[in-house]
């Protein structure tokens, strides 16, 4: 089988390429150039850097497989970076990694696989594809500490048919040992945690440099009482606790960001709780009946039992079994049934203190 391997320059994708080559497959390594500095080159900090690309090239050379770097900077800038800036300017909290998977990576990798005559696309994500009575399902990885199914919820059954996640049953320590056994220089390379286009910098400064958001506004409570002032709404996210006034009696949290009036509403942890929310841009892995649902509202957060009701084709209402404080508009809610991913969508904004009807 001819397989396109998405190579990030990290240990996970390096092992995927080596593992598939050992299994006798014809492997082609591909790295996406998604972001560039002022000189048009890959950035020096963050993920998807010039050094990462060089590491991927060296791994491909060690494994004796073809290797390509493909330029998708325009697509990434339009679909991910512009979305990131727009959402922060609208008082939302974006997840650029999910947006990249949703709008750029997998579609382009699958298209490129077609052009190169590849049967499958393989990545180093920790997740599992399970064939259940000839229907494909997306499941959590066996190694729960690194499970990445949350950021893959947008993959439909049709796409899963052309994708491989070889690390779904392997632990990270074993992956590193496999890389060492293969003699790969990425064996003990540190995982990147940075947003690729922000790097080691402050995302607030990045947003401020893209748009004129440094306009003053009031920080108020739910009753409208002024508690302080701020210099720009992009400096806040719903659920934020740090750097807020009026927290001497009890901790205060951001409840709402009103970009029109430039007001930031804060309140207590109890006032932050929600027992329902609406998700838009919803997609499901496959069409089926959903039972015993749980929702995860942040990467690596605990799931909460829930029920859903469809409002229209791409929108659902999520009713939680218990109130939670982790609901952040702009983030994604991902639905599970045990380890199986059902689907997910973007959490809509709501008015602070007003339950969704």
Distance CA 266, CA 299 (A): 24
Candidates 48, 100, 118, 306; catalytic one: 100
Is 97 noted as a catalytic residue in this protein? no
Nearest CA-CA partner of 259 in 207, 295, 307: 207
Is 100 noted as a catalytic residue in this protein? yes
Write 48-56 long-range contacts (CB < 8 A, 24+): 48/8, 48/196, 49/9, 49/196, 51/9, 52/8, 52/9, 52/10, 52/192, 53/9, 54/9, 55/9, 55/10, 55/14, 55/185, 55/186, 55/189, 56/7, 56/8, 56/9, 56/13, 56/14, 56/29, 56/31
Candidates 47, 48, 196, 306; catalytic one: 196
Residues designated as active site: 100, 196
């Amino acid at each position: 089988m001819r397989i396109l391997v998405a190579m990030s320059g990290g240990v996970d994708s390096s092992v995927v390429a080596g593992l598939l080559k050992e299994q006798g497959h014809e492997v082609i390594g591909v790295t996406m150039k998604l972001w560039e500095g002022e000189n048009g080159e890959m950035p020096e900090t963050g993920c998807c850097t010039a050094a990462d690309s060089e590491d991927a090239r060296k791994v491909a050379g060690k494994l004796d497989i073809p290797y390509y770097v493909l330029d998708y900077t325009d697509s990434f800038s339009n679909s991910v970076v512009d979305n990131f800036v727009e959402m922060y300017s609208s008082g939302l909290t974006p997840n650029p990694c999910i947006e990249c998977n949703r709008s750029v990576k997998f579609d382009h990798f699958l298209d490129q696989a077609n052009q190169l005559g590849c049967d499958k696309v393989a990545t180093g994500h920790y997740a599992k594809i399970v064939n259940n009575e000839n229907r494909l399902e997306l499941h959590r990885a066996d190694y729960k500490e690194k499970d990445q199914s949350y950021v893959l919820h947008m993959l439909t059954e049709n796409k899963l048919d052309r994708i491989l996640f070889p690390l779904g049953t392997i632990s990270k320590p074993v992956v590193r040992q496999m890389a060492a056994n293969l003699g790969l220089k990425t064996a003990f390379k540190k995982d990147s945690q940075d947003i690729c286009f922000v790097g080691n910098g402050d995302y607030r400064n990045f947003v401020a440099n893209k748009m004129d958001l440094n306009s003053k506004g009031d920080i108020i409570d739910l009753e409208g009482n002024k508690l302080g002032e701020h210099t720009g709404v992009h400096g806040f996210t719903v659920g934020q606790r740090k750097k807020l006034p009026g927290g001497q009696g009890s901790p205060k949290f951001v409840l709402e960001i009103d970009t029109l009036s430039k007001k930031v509403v804060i309140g207590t942890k109890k006032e932050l709780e929600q027992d329902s929310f609406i998700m838009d841009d919803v997609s499901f892995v496959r069409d089926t009946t959903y039972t015993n649902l749980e929702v995860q509202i942040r990467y690596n957060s605990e799931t909460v039992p829930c029920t859903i009701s469809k409002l229209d084709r791409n929108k659902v209402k999520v009713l939680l079994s218990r109130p939670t404080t982790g609901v952040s508009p702009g983030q994604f809610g991902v639905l599970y049934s045990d380890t199986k991913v059902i689907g997910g969508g973007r959490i809509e904004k709501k008015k602070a203190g007003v339950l969704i009807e």
